[in-house]
Amino acid sequence: MANGALTVWKFDTPEGAEEAARTLADLAREQVINVHDAAAVSWEVGKKKPKTRQLSGSTTGGGALGGAFWGMLFGLIFFVPLLGAAVGAATGALAGSLTDVGIDDRFINKVRDEVTPGTSALFVMTSDAVLDKVRDAFAGHQPSELVFTNLSEEQEKALREVFEADDNE
């Protein structure tokens, strides 16, 4: 996979990530971005835990990371804290293998703090994005925050500038 990036975008509504996922699928079909895998988290107000789902329809290649990855990741972020320290300790070694791509305790805690009841998040593994076209497509439903990316500092700065350009116009 050329220049793959994992990004996590937060939305201020439970529907925001699903709406963005539809736009992302359209962009992938138009070959504006190569989506290797994606998953959405939606957390309705008043619910104890969020709903999660892998977005297989928007990916190329059937999902580079797979359902087991998303299940493990979302379990570590949203469900292990509910199960207690004993189960949490048992998953420590498993979580350690994710640190190579920047998924560590800091990542898990940041996503856990940001994605709360009444919000949603879109987790996306992509490459080869035409950033100006991606920005234009997302103009109607901007994410409220880029929670995480494993892009280089220069790539992340360029990505943030693309999305912030609409805010300044």
Residues 12-40 pLDDT 10s: 999 999 999 999 999 999 999 888 888 99
Per DSSP, helices labelled H in 38-152 are 66-74, 80-83, 85-90, 92-96, 105-114, 131-137
Q: To the nearest whole number, what is the mean pLDDT of the chain? A: 75
The per-residue pLDDT for 88 is: 47
Q: Please report the pLDDT score of residue 56 as a whole number.
A: 64
pLDDT at 169: 46
Lowest mean pLDDT among 40-44, 65-69, 103-107, 115-119: 65-69
* Under 8 Å between Cβ of 150 and 101: yes
Name the band, by pLDDT with cuts 50, 70 and 90, for residue 166: very low
Interval 126-161: pLDDT, tens: 888 887 888 788 777 667 787 877 766 776 666 566
pLDDT at 96: 53
Q: What are the domain boundaries of the chain? A: 5-164
Better-predicted residue by pLDDT, 71 or 163: 71
Do the Cβ atoms of 40 and 56 come closer than 8 Å?
no
pTM for the whole structure = 0.76
Residue 5, SS3 per DSSP: strand
Are the beta carbons of 90 and 98 closer than 8 angstroms? Answer: no
Q: What is the mean pLDDT of residues 38-59?
A: 84
Confidence grade of residue 115 (pLDDT, cut at 50, 70, 90): very high
